[in-house]
Amino acid sequence: MSSRSNRIDRLTHLQQLEADSIQIFREAIAESENPVMLYSVGKDSAVMLHLAKKAFFPSVPPFPLLHVDTTWKFKAMYEFRDRMVAESQMELIVHQNPDALLRGINPFDHGSATHTDVWKTEGLKQALGKHGFDLAFGGARRDEERSRAKERVFSIRSAQHRWDPKSQRPELWHLYNARVQPGESVRVFPLSNWTELDVWQYIYRESIPIVPLYFAAKRPVVERDGALIMVDDDRMPREPGEITERSVRFRTLGCYPLTGAIESTASTLPEIIQEMLLTTSSERQGRVIDHDSTGSMEKKKQEGYF
């Protein structure tokens, strides 16, 4: 392999963020017995997977990917997921909460809160318990929400998967304490110090593949409570003639009935970043769960939501 001649004297912010995230990945796998990476198919997961590959190169990352599925993701997400997994040579574990499957939990009949709680929060706990994972990487960032600003990089969860904001461990220098009692587990957030803009810039710089839904295209949508919801399959109840074709894209991806699209013509990465920088509302506004009440994310975290 030829060496790049590259005398540099300082790192750019993206290089520094990348190097620190790689350090976190390596530290986590060295200190755990049975790690796993949560893969939710979104852009943050894409960046995490990219960083994991870099951290362990030339080895394949020494852990499987876990997708806690709700059966309600966009079709394009499932296709993208399977393609990425095949390329990564990593093992993929898909977990669908059998109880939710049996009860037919869905956002239309049960509401967004129950849907998210049963499929995602409960499903995640089941999957971690079933496989005995003692450490799970997640793509959460501190800039996403006010209560996340205090989240540790290595966050300890009780045997009941609860997060206790009062008993989190101080993190100094690059030293992370991943020691746990039997039954406890650690959630590790390698993207803690990244902002949404950092993530997009990095995707651009590194040409990281992302789900096409992030780019604007003509898509069939209906309006629900002021949000534009894409009709991804026939499970979506609708009035005849209600569907319109509009040029839309998504800033964040989840279950299609709960993810609002924005009208946009941004069809390239630079256009997306440009639009984001000129826009006036935050990324999480498109997610329905944040609107419940002030501090709702914090409550969800205490209950075990990622």
Partner 1 sequence: MAHVANELLEQDIEAYLTQHENKSMLRFITCGSVDDGKSTLIGRLLYDSKLVFDDHLSALISDSKRIGTQGGDLDFALLVDGLAAEREQGITIDVAYRFFSTEQRKFIVADTPGHEQYTRNMVTGASTAELAVILIDARKGVLTQTRRHSYLVSLLGIRHVVLAINKLDLVDYSEEVFDGIVADYQSFAEGIGISSFTAIPISALGGDNISERSLHTPWYKGPTLIEHLENVDVDDERSRGPFRFPVQWVNRPDLDFRGYAGQIAGGRIQVGGAVRIVPSGAESTITRIVTADGDLSEAITGQSVTLCLADAIDISRGDLIADAQAPPSVADQFECHLIWMAEEEMLPGRPYVLKIGGRTVAATVSQPKYEVNVNSLVHQASKTLGLNSIGVCNLSLDQPIPFDPYVENRETGGFILVDRFTNATVAAGLLHFGLRRADNVHWQAVEVDKVRRSEMNNQRPAVIWFTGLSGSGKSTIANTVEQRLFDLGHRTYLLDGDNIRHGLNHDLGFTDADRVENVRRVAEVAKLMVDAGLIVLCSFISPFRAERQLARELVGEGEFVEVFVDVSLEVAEQRDHKGLYAKARRGELDNFTGIDSPYEEPENPDVHLHTSGSLTIEAAADEVLGHLYQSGILSDPR
Q: Which of residues 2-41 bind partner 1 (CB under 8 A)?
A: 2-20, 22-23, 26-27, 29-30
Closest residue by Cα to residue 137 from 149, 147, 124: 124
Minimum CB distance to partner 1 smaller for 31 or for 122: 31
Instruction: Write down the least CB distance from residue 143 to partner 1, Å.
Output: 5
Near partner 1 by CB under 8 A: residue from 102, 182, 207, 277: 277
Query: Using the rule CB under 8 A, is 252 a contact of partner 1?
Result: no
Order of strands, sheet of 135-137, starting from the edge strand that comes earlier in the sequence: 92-96, 65-69, 35-38, 135-137, 185-188, 154-157
Query: Using the rule CB under 8 A, is 147 a contact of partner 1?
Result: yes
Residues 172-211 touching partner 1, rule: CB under 8 A, are 172-175, 177, 179-181, 192-193, 195, 197-198, 201, 204-205
Minimum CB distance to partner 1 smaller for 20 or for 303: 20
Question: Is the distance from CB of 306 to CB of 187 less than 8 angstroms?
Answer: yes
Closest residue by Cα to residue 61 from 125, 137, 155, 156: 137
Minimum CB distance to partner 1 smaller for 164 or for 223: 164
Query: Using the rule CB under 8 A, is 294 a contact of partner 1?
Result: yes
Near partner 1 by CB under 8 A: residue from 71, 96, 114, 285: 285
**Can you tell me which residue has the tokens 């996340």?**
148
Residues 149-168 touching partner 1, rule: CB under 8 A, are 149-150, 165, 167-168
The per-residue DSSP string of 175-232 comes to: B------TT-EEEE-TTTT--HHHHHHHHHHHT----GGGS-EEEEEEEETTEEEE--
Residues 61-120 touching partner 1, rule: CB under 8 A, are none
